[in-house]
Structure 1
Amino acid sequence: MAAVKKHTYLGVLIALIVIGCWTALLVYLLYTYQLDFSSPLTYIFFLLQTHLYTGLFITAHDAMHGVVAPGKPTLNKTIGTVAAFLFAYNWYPRLLPRHHQHHHFVATDKDPDYHGGSFVAWYFSFLKQYITWWQIVLMAITFNVLKLYFPLENVVMFWMVPAILATFQLFYFGTYLPHKGEHAKDNKHRSGTLAKNHVWAFVSCYFFGYHFEHHDKPYIPWWQLYKTKS
C-alpha cells in the first residue's frame, strides 16, 4: 500500500511541476519579459515554452492511461482535464476514447491517429481529428483578450506559436515517425521506436519516441518510460 501511495503522489507531483512551470513561465514571459529578437534568451524561452506545452499534453496523455494518479481515478481525471484544457482548450473526455481507440486499432482504418497518405495529408488528418471549431473560437477570444493586457509580440511568441509547434512536435515524434511505413509481421504494436538516446528522447517528446515501448507497456508513465528501452 505504501508503494502505491508513493507512486501516486510522485506522479501527481511531476504533473503539477509540468503544469506549474508552464503557467509560471508564461506569466513571466507575458507580464515581465522584454522581448528582444537579438537576444538568444528569447529563443531559449520560446523553445522551453514549446517544450512545456508538449508536457501539458503528455501529462493529459498519461492521465488517459491512469498513471498520473494511479488508484485515484477522480484526481487522475481532474489533472488530465486541466492539462488538456490548458493546451489550446483540448477537452479530455473527447480525447480519452480516441486515444484508446488508437491503442486498440493501431495503424489501421479504425485508428483515428493513422493516415496512409503523405506527410502533409497525414498531418492535416491528425489536426482534423483533434482540433474543433470551439477550440479555435476560444483561442481567438483568448488571443484578443490577452493582447489587451500584454504586448502583442509576447502573446504571439510565447503563447500562440508554441502551442502550434507543440502540436506539430507531438504529431511528428509521437504519431508520424513511429507509425509511418510498413512494419514487420511480428511487430505486434505496428510501431517504430527511436534509437536509445535518453537526452534526445526527452527533449524531442518526453520519451514518447520510444513508442513501441509505450504501446507495449502503456501503464508506464512518461518519466519512467526510458527504463523500458533496451
Structure 2
Amino acid sequence: MKTIHSRIFAGGAYYLTIIPPTSKRVHIMPKRMGSSPEELHDVLKLWEKQYYLPRELDDARTQKHLVHLYRPPRSDWPGILVACGVLGCWAAIFIHALWFIKLPWTSEEPSSWCHIVAVFFSLEFLYTGLFITTHDAMHGAIALRSRRINDFLGRLAISLYAWFDYSVLHRKHWEHHNHTGIPLVDPDFHHGNPNLLIWFAQFMMSYMTVFQFIKIAAWSNVLLLLGAPIANQMVFMTAAPLLSAFRLFYYGTYVPHHPPKGHVGPMPWQVSRSSNAPTLLSFLTCYHFDMHWEHHRWPYAPWWQLPICRQRLRQALAAEAAAGGGAVASSPCVAVDNRRQQGLGAGLEQVGSLPAATTAAVVAAR
C-alpha cells in the first residue's frame, strides 16, 4: 500500500491512501453480479477503501448534502458490456482502417475521400472511448465488485490506445483528484502558463515514457509484418489518437479547470466547469467527460451514467432554489457571485462561504 501525505490546502490537510492497481490486497464481493441495497452499500464501502478521496472541508460548493442522490449500478454487467462494446467497435474499425483503406498516395485505386474521412473520425472517436474506458477503470467504475476484471479492461484499453503505463496513469490521475488545481502538485494542472497549446504539450509530456515508445515501435512492426501499411499506421494509429488526446485534454482538463482571467492560485474541483450541452451532444463531444463537476462529485459513476448525475443534481438544486425563492443554473460550475460581477473583488474563495441556496444560483461558466 502506498501512502501519500499532501500539502495543507484551504485550511485543511488532505491525507490520501491509494491501493495501487498492482496490489494483491483486493477485496472481492460476492460472486454474483447483482446487489441488494445492503450489498450496494457494501460496494461503496469497498470502493472507498480502495480509492480514498481527501477529507471534504465545510464548503458549500461541494454540495456534499446531495451526494446520496446517485448510487452506482446494482450490477457490474452493464459496465463490463459497455467497456467491451467500445473495445469491440474500436477493433472492428481499426482492422478496417489498417487493412482495407487504400490511401491516395499509396495506391493507384484509392478509397474515396468520404470513406477515408468517415473511417478516420469514427476511429478517432473510438480512440477517445478507449481512454474513457481506461478512465472509468482507474475509478473502479467498470466493475466495482471485481478489481481484477476492472483493471484488466483498463489495461487493455490503454494499451490499444497508445501503450501508456496503466499504473502510472492510475497514480497520477488520483493525484489530480486529490489535489485538483493546485499548481505543481496536480499533475494535470498547468505549471504557470494556462495557454492551451503550452498546457497541452506539458500535459502530454508528463505521461509519455521511453518504454511506451519502445512498445509502440514493437507493435507497429508486428502490424507491418501482418500486412498493415506504414502509411495507414501513421494516419490511423498516430494522427487519430493524437487528435483524440487533444479532444480529451480540451474537454476533460482545459475547459473544466482553466482559471478565469486574472485568477492566480488553486482551482479546486468544487469550481470545475460543467457542460450544459444536451445529452447526445455531450456524448458526441467526449463521452460526457464535459460533465466534469458531476464526475468529481461522484467519482464512482461510470461515464454513461453522468447524465443521470446531472439530471438528479439539477432537480435537487431547482427544489432548493424554489424553497429559497432563488434562481438556479443547470449545474454548480465555476461560480461568480453578484459582488464579483459588481467589481467588489469577490473571488473564487468567497463562493464557498455562500449559503447553499445562494450557491445553487450560480452563473454558467463562460
Could you say whether these structures have the same fold, taking a TM-score greater than 0.5 normalized by the shorter chain as the test?
A: yes
Residues 101 and 217 of structure 1, relative CA distance in 2, 3 Å threshold: same
Letter in 2 for 1:94: V
Letter in 2 for 1:181: P
Separation in 1 of the partners of 2:277 and 2:100? 39
Separation in 1 of the partners of 2:75 and 2:140? 12
Per-residue CA deviations over 1:186-211 (Å, capped at 9, x if unaligned) read: 97523111223212211111001111
- Quote the residue 2:189 is aligned against: 114
Separation in 2 of the partners of 1:88 and 1:46? 16
TM-score normalised to structure 2 length: 0.59
Letter in 2 for 1:10: P
Which one has the bigger helix percentage? Answer: 1
Residues 34 and 6 of structure 1, relative CA distance in 2, 3 Å threshold: farther
- Quote the residue 2:168 is aligned against: 94
- State the secondary structure of the residue aligned to 2:76: helix
Matched, 1:72 2:146: yes
Matched, 1:227 2:227: no
Separation in 2 of the partners of 1:33 and 1:6? 42
Residues 7 and 157 of structure 1, relative CA distance in 2, 3 Å threshold: same
Separation in 2 of the partners of 1:186 and 1:108? 7
Matched, 1:198 2:279: yes
Matched, 1:52 2:84: no
Structure 2 unaligned spans of 5+:
1-32, 41-72, 104-109, 315-366
Separation in 2 of the partners of 1:17 and 1:219? 20
Which one has the bigger strand percentage? Answer: 2
Separation in 1 of the partners of 2:187 and 2:177? 10
Matched, 1:169 2:239: no
Separation in 1 of the partners of 2:145 and 2:34? 12
Matched, 1:130 2:207: yes
Residues 193 and 8 of structure 1, relative CA distance in 2, 3 Å threshold: same
Matched, 1:2 2:40: no
Q: Please state how far the C-alpha of 1:144 moved relative to its aligned partner.
A: 4.2
Per-residue CA deviations over 1:79-100 (Å, capped at 9, x if unaligned) read: 1111111111011111111111
Q: Please state how far the C-alpha of 1:153 moved relative to its aligned partner.
A: 2.9
Q: Give the number of equivalent residue pairs.
A: 229
TM-score normalised to structure 1 length: 0.91
Per-residue CA deviations over 1:88-140 (Å, capped at 9, x if unaligned) read: 10111111111111011101121000003122221111012111122123223
- Which structure would you say has the larger Rg? 2
- Quote the residue 2:292 is aligned against: 211
Q: Please state how far the C-alpha of 1:65 moved relative to its aligned partner.
A: 0.8
Separation in 2 of the partners of 1:174 and 1:221? 15
Separation in 1 of the partners of 2:233 and 2:274? 35
Matched, 1:151 2:225: no
- Say which structure, 1 or 2, has more relative contact order (CA 8 Å, 6+ apart): 1
Q: Please state how far the C-alpha of 1:12 moved relative to its aligned partner.
A: 0.5
Structure 1 unaligned spans of 5+:
none
Residues 188 and 103 of structure 1, relative CA distance in 2, 3 Å threshold: closer
Identity of aligned residues (%): 36
Which of 23, 26, 42 aligns to 2:94? It is: 26
- Quote the residue 1:140 is aligned against: 217
Aligned 8 A contact 1:57 1:83 in 2: yes
Which piece of structure 1 moves more, 209-218 or 113-122?
A: 113-122
